[in-house]
Structure 1
Amino acid sequence: MTRITGPFVAIVTPFDAEESVNAAALRRQVARQAAVGNGVFCAGTNGEFYALSFEEKVKVAAICVEAAGGRVPVLAHVGEISTHQTIALGKAVQGLGVRAVSAITPSFIACSQDELIDHYRQVADALTVPVYLYNIPARTGNTLQPDTARTLAEHPNIIGIKDSAGSQESLDGFLAIARERSDFDVLVGPDSLVLHGLRHGAAGCISGLGNIAPVTLNGIHASFVRGDLAAAEEHQTRFSTLRKDLYAFGFPPAMVKRALRHAVPDVGASRAPVLIAGEVDARIAALAATYAEAV
């Protein structure tokens, strides 16, 4: 399989006033990212997978693949609490044309590392599409240790990891594995560490803030690839500043969507119980006016 590289956006899932998936708005967001060369990662954390039904997750993946039209690759998130449901969702999505899927560690259930190994092996065995591990312990309560990822990297259908633990230390632990073998890649999750990851061997990134600033995101990667580190640093600084200022207001996926909504109203609001109003909303609107990029 051709290696999957470059910047991806963890695309938001637009909703209408009744909180139903807004397919037309989603197509427009996919087209907006494809126009600048960013791949699409659908039904992830910023896509509110935790608030989507099984059928909606499949629908979102289908819409994204159709809207991308082969211009950029599409990855889909299929992680569920149980191994059984993760496999079921993966099987429903894998035939839609996605390049690969990712799965967070099971949430709510406190898993040992052996249980995580068994979980991911079962998922990778069951699917024909390549699988990325997805480490986001702050949300799941389970941490994928580097030694666990090193063991799972031996599986022929596990091709890498999206690390969203949020720390350079965590990211560096997985980057070390990627440098050991050519068949295991790291996709950077934290927007503040995109350039650091690229400098140390990451294949790319999956960004939430790319919803707001797709040109800046693409600029980090494109500048790095062409060897213009000064430009890459400039783009990264802008991205990191946005991250620091925006995420100070609350739950990051909700903050990203709210900021994007101020620039592109048809993406709609986050599903309840998320509620953003008053002074916080006004300050998010000010950030959107400064950072949102029209494409």
Structure 2
Amino acid sequence: MSNPKGPFVAIVTPFDDREEVNVTALTRQIERQAAAGNGVFCAGTNGEFYTLSFEEKVLVAKTSVEAAAGRVPVLAHVGEISTHQTIVLGKAVEKLGVAAVSVVAPSFIACSQDELITHYTRVADALSVPVYLYNIPARTGNKIEPETAARLADHPNIVGIKDSAGSEESLDGFLAIARSRKNFDVLVGPDHLILHGLRNGASGCISGLGNIAPLTLNAIWNAHVAGDAAAADAAQAHYGDLRKALYAHGFPPTMVKRALYLAMPEVGKSRGPAIVSDEVNDKVALVSKTFAEAVA
């Protein structure tokens, strides 16, 4: 089976007024993305995995797979702080029909590169579903070095990396590994680097902004695949304008969730301690009004 490719949306996790997972609203968001042609990445950073319980992460993955109904692939994030808990969650999720899982580098514990190699090797050994590394050092405090990724790429069940470090330098380091191997892919995390990554060998992207602008995200991918450089540039530029307008106001996942909430209230607000002041809410409302895209 080939690795999943194309545009994925790091789907938000909708909550009701009691801050419980809103399965109905999540189903509608999955259907919205499928209608736009985007795959789904659930329980990731934009899905507020750091606020979800074990049971909720399994519920979100199960709901996502069922709602997608085979129309688009579903990737699920299963990374936990400990290797043991990552494996336990991975084993629960892999039974649900996800195309692959991603595993963020452990947080809180300062890890050496050798410890990261051992961590990911144990996880990949234990799971039957394909595994993507997930590099976001600004949030975890642990950076997956390209040399480490290259060593882990030798594992038959480690199929790629989602790089969200935020720089061309980081992304290019992993793309160089992917170009030298047949079975190791790069999924672009930063919204402003999607087209750069695709043009340099990335197999796809996982975007938070796709919650707000799913059609623009899909347009970047389709124009790139069609070889229409002008259209791809225009779609990426529009995406860049959205990123600049929204991310200036706070923590990106919280801003994405609030912008979507203002356009589609049923997704609810972010779980605490994330707070959006009235002043920021008004600014995000303008962004939402300008950029939010409805998909029938």
Aligned to 2:83: 83
Cα deviation per residue 1:192-246 (whole Å; 9 max; x = unaligned)? 0000000000000000000000000000000000011100000000111111221
Measured in 2, the distance between the counterparts of 1:115 and 1:250 equals: 33
Aligned to 1:249: 249
Q: Secondary structure at the match of 1:218?
A: helix
State the identity as a percent: 71
Aligned to 1:167: 167
Aligned to 1:13: 13
Q: Post-superposition shift, 1:132?
A: 0.1
Q: Post-superposition shift, 1:279?
A: 1.4
Q: Post-superposition shift, 1:87?
A: 0.3
Q: Which stretch shifts more, 124-133 or 275-284? A: 275-284
Provide the TM-score with structure 2 as the length reference.
0.99
Q: Which stretch shifts more, 132-141 or 268-277? A: 268-277
2:263 matches 1:263: yes
Q: Secondary structure at the match of 1:195?
A: helix
Measured in 2, the distance between the counterparts of 1:192 and 1:264 equals: 24
- Supply the AA of the counterpart residue of 1:192: H
Superposed CA RMSD in Å reads 0.5
Measured in 2, the distance between the counterparts of 1:170 and 1:205 equals: 15
Measured in 1, the distance between the counterparts of 2:223 and 2:54 equals: 38
Measured in 2, the distance between the counterparts of 1:106 and 1:233 equals: 35
Q: Secondary structure at the match of 2:30?
A: helix
Aligned to 1:57: 57
Aligned to 2:95: 95
Aligned to 2:68: 68
8 A Cα contact 2:3 2:159, kept in partner: no
- Supply the AA of the counterpart residue of 1:90: G
Measured in 1, the distance between the counterparts of 2:24 and 2:98 equals: 19
Q: Secondary structure at the match of 1:224?
A: helix
Aligned to 1:122: 122
Q: Post-superposition shift, 1:277?
A: 2.4
2:273 matches 1:277: no
Cα deviation per residue 1:12-67 (whole Å; 9 max; x = unaligned)? 00000000000000000000000011000000000000000000000000000000
Q: Post-superposition shift, 1:3?
A: 2.6
The number of aligned residues is: 295
Aligned to 1:200: 200
Q: Secondary structure at the match of 2:7?
A: strand
Q: Secondary structure at the match of 1:197?
A: helix
8 A Cα contact 2:79 2:86, kept in partner: yes
Measured in 2, the distance between the counterparts of 1:83 and 1:280 equals: 38
Measured in 1, the distance between the counterparts of 2:175 and 2:240 equals: 20
Q: Post-superposition shift, 1:278?
A: 1.4
Measured in 2, the distance between the counterparts of 1:177 and 1:277 equals: 43
Measured in 1, the distance between the counterparts of 2:222 and 2:277 equals: 37
Cα deviation per residue 1:125-174 (whole Å; 9 max; x = unaligned)? 00000000000000000000000000000000000000000001000000
Q: Secondary structure at the match of 1:103?
A: strand
Measured in 2, the distance between the counterparts of 1:182 and 1:83 equals: 27
Measured in 2, the distance between the counterparts of 1:83 and 1:3 equals: 24
Measured in 2, the distance between the counterparts of 1:166 and 1:244 equals: 14
Measured in 1, the distance between the counterparts of 2:37 and 2:263 equals: 20
2:37 matches 1:27: no
Question: Unaligned 5+ residue runs, structure 1?
Answer: none
Measured in 2, the distance between the counterparts of 1:115 and 1:23 equals: 37
